[in-house]
Amino acid sequence: MLQAVHDNSRHYVARPGNRIIAAVSPGHNTLYVHPVMTPAGLLVTQERPADHLHHLGIFVGHDRVNGHNFWWPGHYGCSDPRARHRERRGASLLVQPRNSIRCVAMDFSPDGDSMVCRAETEWETEAGELLIDETRVMRIGFDDQTHFVEVTSELKPVPQKVTLGRTKEAGLAVRLALELEAKWGGRILDTEGRVSEAKIFDQDADAIAVHGRVGGRECGLAVIPHPSSERCPWFVREYGLQNHNPFRHRDVVLNKGELYKLRCLFAAFDGSMNRERLQAFANAYRKTS
């Protein structure tokens, strides 16, 4: 039986014996999942790394929602690159109004071997204009090989029309633990057998995984899009960001009453990873979905 425990502004989901699987973290200006642990208790996600303060475990965002930036929610309220530069240099921008992805409702309910967190968020501009109503469902659980977090994000426009513009900074993403970055020995692979950012970036595959050593032990995280989520080339980075981003090659225009859905499984595993094991993960997810 899984339990959901609120502690220090996070909602942890844990197995018996206080074995943490993951935590839902509703911040002041965004909503994300961190930490995510393997069955052996190894941390595979990262929160607010120094190079990209807006990378928050498993998160959803978009930097061109009717021209407004919700990839950096809560950091600055404009797309001025000078403001971004000052933010990266550590200058305080808190005097500027900020876009936000605000969680307005959340509940947890058990579902077999999973705990389901259903959250409602509002994507509001710095001027107070509400652009997106989002329903985000996070199903957190375990199986015989993994701890998993399945995220489904449904984006619904509030005005008559919302344009989710073509951009590389959007989608359903994860920032991985430092030790899984290439500089520290981490490796990216896909279900086509390709290895490395150079070979996988902008290519098509059923799934990707990043694996390496955390605390001297092999582990990693697989990212598997659901068949109902628009298939798109992979956006992968050896510094740790992996992103399912259908917006990188086209605009998505939503009229009132329409919705756009992103859905992926994030599976934290122990041990090594190869093409065959990753494909088996992908096949199992599709079979049970």
Pairing verdict, β 114-124 and 208-214 = unpaired
Q: How many residues does the chain have?
A: 289
Q: What is the pLDDT along the chain (289 residues), one digit of tens a residue?
A: 899 999 988 999 999 999 999 999 997 789 999 999 999 999 999 999 999 999 999 999 999 999 999 998 765 444 444 444 444 444 444 434 589 999 999 999 999 889 999 999 999 999 999 999 999 999 999 999 999 999 999 999 999 999 999 999 999 999 999 999 999 999 999 999 999 999 999 999 999 999 999 999 999 999 999 999 999 999 999 999 999 999 999 999 999 999 999 999 999 999 999 999 999 999 999 887 6
DSSP-assigned letter for residue 227 = T
pLDDT at 73: 78
CB 278 within 8 A of CB 222: yes
Span 156-210, pLDDT tens digits: 999 999 999 999 999 999 999 999 999 999 999 999 999 999 999 999 999 999 9
Spatial separation of the C-alpha atoms in residues 224 and 265, rounded to whole Å:
5
- CA 59 to chain centroid, in Å, comes to 3
Going along the chain from its start, the domains and CATH numbers come out as: 3-288 (2.70.98)
SS (H, E, C) 55-115: CECEEEEECCECCECCCCCCCCCCCCHHHHHHHHCCCCCCCCCCCEEEEEEEEEEEECCEE
pLDDT at 92: 43
pLDDT at 9: 87
pLDDT at 84: 46
